[in-house]
Amino acid sequence: MPQNTILRRLLFVLNPVSGDIDKGDLEDQLTAFCTERGRSAAFFHTTGEDDLHKLRTHLAEQTYDAVFAAGGDGTVKLVAEALLDNDLLLGILPLGSGNGLSKDLGIPQELEEARQLIWDYQVREIDTMEVGGHFSAHLADLGFNALVVERFCSGDTRGPGAYIRIAMQEYMNYEPCTYRIETDRETYEGPAFMLTIANANTFGSNVVINPDSDLDDGEFEVCLIEPFPVTAGIGILYQLYTNAFDASAYTRRMRCRRASISVPGQQQVLAQVDGEPIELPTPIDVVIHPRSLRVLTPVPQPEEQ
């Protein structure tokens, strides 16, 4: 589909509970916005029950030019996975707690600006990953952050404040695991406080876990934070928020096209994949699928002289 094609038939996939954001009048707003610009808007509401199969069935029965995920990273993951087998374009309206992939793609975080992608856009083909047999477009974790995400998702409160509170509670008693990582380039075995499988570079919390990464380079990175003394914690946190992950003595990155990750003595481990907690059997095989997803992104603005 050429980049200048007018997107007339649009499907919006809405997650009513993402990000603890009131979406009561969102459908009416989007309908009016599209109608004013000669577009048609249809809606698919997620329920948490067999959403992927239902969305794929809907897409097979209807005709659209693009599908917009209106929610957080979980909604984006759902829509992206549903689009893998067809030529439809993915749009993102970031309405979740973190919105990590949309930030890495440079998509505006305000709805009024993000919805302009309906008519003013360029198409970017990005890589996706398969993590233990599960689709991922952004980041997956083992270790500490996976535990925090699991606690966050099972709680009743959303938003950054709830995530930070849970992280502080879990940090005090967390015991790092030992991992064995075999990639197409190197092998590593040792303990890690946190292990991130990264196709992108930034968590929704604006923590930069994977500097200098590229969403369409055909590679991913395994990013490790090794166990560290309490006195080093503030420094590591500062480095993560200032794009200085590699500056710490407790961090390392392994760039690769495939990896196998095991935890000696454990047959399965807790993970999070694009914000969704899941138990994965080990070893966990990770592969990259180059430029397998077509996404609507903002048109770069000319630099001022």
Q: Indicate the pTM of the whole model.
A: 0.87
- Give the distance between the most distant pair of CA atoms in the chain: 60
Q: 3-state class of 265 per DSSP?
A: coil
**Domain around 16:** 9-120
Q: Are residues 99 and 166 both part of a single domain?
A: no
Phi and psi, residue 99, nearest 5°: 60, 45
Q: Is 9 left (phi over 0), alpha (psi -120 to 50) or beta?
A: beta
What pLDDT, in 10s, does the model give residues 70-125?
998 889 999 999 998 678 999 999 998 778 899 999 999 999 999 999 999 999 99
**301 in a structural domain:** no
pLDDT (0 to 100) of residue 98: 76
- Among 92, 120, 148, identify where a domain stops: 120
Q: Are residues 239 and 267 both part of a single domain?
A: yes
Q: Are residues 145 and 45 both part of a single domain?
A: no
Q: Are residues 13 and 74 both part of a single domain?
A: yes
Q: Are residues 177 and 105 both part of a single domain?
A: no
- Among 85, 120, 155, identify where a domain stops: 120
What CATH number corresponds to the domain at position 68?
3.40.50.10330
**61 in a structural domain:** yes
What CATH number corresponds to the domain at position 263?
2.60.200.40
Burial letters 254-293, b for 16+ CB under 10 A, else e: bbbeebbbbbeeeeebbbbbbbbbbebebbbbbebbeebb
pLDDT (0 to 100) of residue 2: 46
Total structural domains within the chain? 2
- Among 62, 97, 120, identify where a domain stops: 120
Q: Are residues 177 and 29 both part of a single domain?
A: no
**298 in a structural domain:** no
What pLDDT, in 10s, does the model give residues 244-277?
888 889 999 999 999 999 999 899 999 999 988 9
**1 in a structural domain:** no
Q: Are residues 116 and 148 both part of a single domain?
A: no
Separation between Cα atoms, residue 142 and residue 277, nearest integer Å:
10
Mean pLDDT of the chain: 88
Q: Are residues 138 and 285 both part of a single domain?
A: yes
**Nearest to 51, CA basis, from 77, 33, 29:** 77
What pLDDT, in 10s, does the model give residues 5-59?
889 999 999 987 654 555 668 999 999 999 999 999 999 999 989 999 999 999 9
